[in-house]
A and B are shown apart, each in its own frame.
Chain A
Amino acid sequence: MKPIKDIFSSHIQGLYKGHEVDAPGSVQEGVFNQLDAINGSNTSGSASGGFTSKAVLGAAVVIVGFAWYLMPVSEDQVVVDEVEVVEELVVEDVKVVEEVAVTDAVYEVEAAPELVVQEVVEENVEISVEEQIIAEEEIENTVVTSDIEDVHPEVVVDPIDEDEILEEAVPTKDVIKTKEVQEVLEWVLPAKLEVDE
C-alpha cells in the first residue's frame, strides 16, 4: 500500500511541478502601487521629519535673531565675547599658578618652624648661662660685701691661728674668743719669754 501511495503523491507532485498560471495585469499594478505607497509613506515620513527639523531650525534662527536685535551694538557684543574668552583663559592660568605657589608655601612653612625652634633653643641656653653667671657674680659680691664687713676682723685674726680657721668656718663668737685667747696669750707670753731669757 505504501508504495502505491508514494506513487500517487509523486504523480501529483509531478503534475504541479513547474506549473504556472499567468497572473492578471491588475495584480502587477496592485503590487507596485502598494510598493509605491509604502515608499511614499516612508518618504513622506522622512519629509515630515525633515520639515520638523527645518521648523525647529527656523525657530532657533528666529530666536537668535531676536536676541541679536535686542543687543545694543553689534561691535560691543563682539568685544564682550572676546573679553569673556580671555577672562576664562586668564582664570585658568591663575588657577594653575596658585596651585603651584601653594605647594611651595607649604614646604616652606613646614621647614621654617624647625629652624626657628633650634635657634630659640640656642638663645635660651646662652641666656640662661649668662644669667646664671650674673647671678653668681651678684651673689659673690653680696657675699663679699657681707664678708668684708664681717671678716675684716677675722683677717686680722688669721695670722694668729690659721689651722683653726681652715678646719671650720669661724663664727664671730669664736673669733672673739680667739681674740680673748690671744690677748691672754699676749699677756702670758712676755712672762714666758722673760723666763726663757
Chain B
Amino acid sequence: MSVEPDILELIEKCKAGDRRAQFDLYGRFSGLMFAVSLRYTNTKIDAEDVVQNAWVKIFSKLDTFSENNSFEGWMRRIVVNTAITLYRKNKKHANQADISEVLATPADIDASKQCDFTREELENAISRMPEGYGVVFKLYVIDGYKHKEIAEMLDIEVNTSKSQLSRAKKFLQGVLLHMEQVATPRVDDHSNID
C-alpha cells in the first residue's frame, strides 16, 4: 500500500522540521487518532494524554516510516501502542475480578444475528465489558491485530488472548440482546398495562 503523494510531501516537509507541514499533518489525522485513543482509554483525559504522546512520537519517528506501508496504519499502531502502555501501567487485576461476571452473562448469539446495532450502542456495550476482555476485543475485532500480536502487546499467552476474545464476544452479544429487549417492549407488557 503506497502513500498518497500529497501525504508523502507533507511527511518530507515534516522531516525537515517545517512547522506548517506539521500543523497540516496533525489537522488531517487528529480526529482519526483521537477516536482510536478514545477506544482504548477509560476517560477522555486519558485519551488526550495518549494521543498527545502518540503525536509527539509520530513526529519524532517519521524517519522510520517506510513509504511502502500505510501511513494511517502506522500512526494508528503508534496510538494503540501508547494506549496499551498506559493500560498496562494502570492494570490492577481487573480481569480476574470480572470473570465471574462474564461467565454469568447469558450468551444468546442468535439474538445478535441481525447486527442492527449502531456504533453508539456497541460502544455502550463495550463500556460495560470488563477491561481486559474489552482490550482484546477491540484489538482483534476493530483494529485487526492477530492473537500473537495481542499476546505480545499485553504480555499474555496466545491462548489467553483467544479465550478472552471468545468470552468478550459472548458478553457483548448478551449485553446487546439485553439492550434490544429493553428498547423494544414485549406486547404482553402492553396488554398487562392496559
Contact = CB atoms under 8 A, between A and B. Distances in A.
Contact of A22 (B34, B55, B118, B144): B34
A19 to B, nearest CB: 5
B169 A27 contact: no
B48 A26 contact: yes
Contacts of B31: 20-23
A23 B122 contact: no
B48 A12 contact: no
A13 interface: yes
Contacts of A20: 31-32, 34-35
Contacts of A23: 30-31, 33-34, 48, 51
B56 A38 contact: yes
Interface residues of A, number: 28
A173 B31 CA distance: 162
Contacts of B153: none
A28 B26 contact: yes
A29 B173 CA distance: 40
Helix, strand, loop or mixed for chain B's interface? helix
Contact of A1 (B30, B56, B109, B119): B109
Given A4-B109, A5-B169, A38-B56, A28 B30 contact: yes
A18 to B, nearest CB: 8
Interface in A1-57: 1, 4-5, 7-9, 11-13, 15-16, 18-24, 26-28, 30-32, 34-35, 38-39
Given A19-B119, A23-B48, A12 B30 contact: no
Contact of B122 (A12, A28, A39): A12
B54 to A, nearest CB: 9
A15 B52 contact: no
Nearest to A13: B142
B148 to A, nearest CB: 18
Interface residues of B, number: 32
B145 interface: no
B60 interface: yes
B52 A12 contact: no
B96 to A, nearest CB: 26
Interface of B: 17, 19, 22-23, 26, 30-35, 38-39, 48, 51-52, 55-56, 59-60, 109, 112-113, 115, 118-119, 122, 141-142, 144, 169, 173
27 contacts: A1-B109, A4-B109, A5-B169, A8-B115, A8-B173, A12-B142, A13-B144, A15-B118, A15-B122, A16-B35, A16-B39, A18-B32, A20-B31, A20-B34, A21-B35, A23-B34, A23-B51, A26-B48, A27-B34, A27-B48, A27-B51, A27-B55, A31-B52, A31-B56, A32-B19, A32-B26, A34-B56
Given A23-B31, A38-B60, 12 more contacts: A7-B113, A7-B115, A12-B142, A13-B142, A20-B31, A21-B38, A22-B34, A27-B34, A27-B48, A28-B26, A30-B52, A39-B17
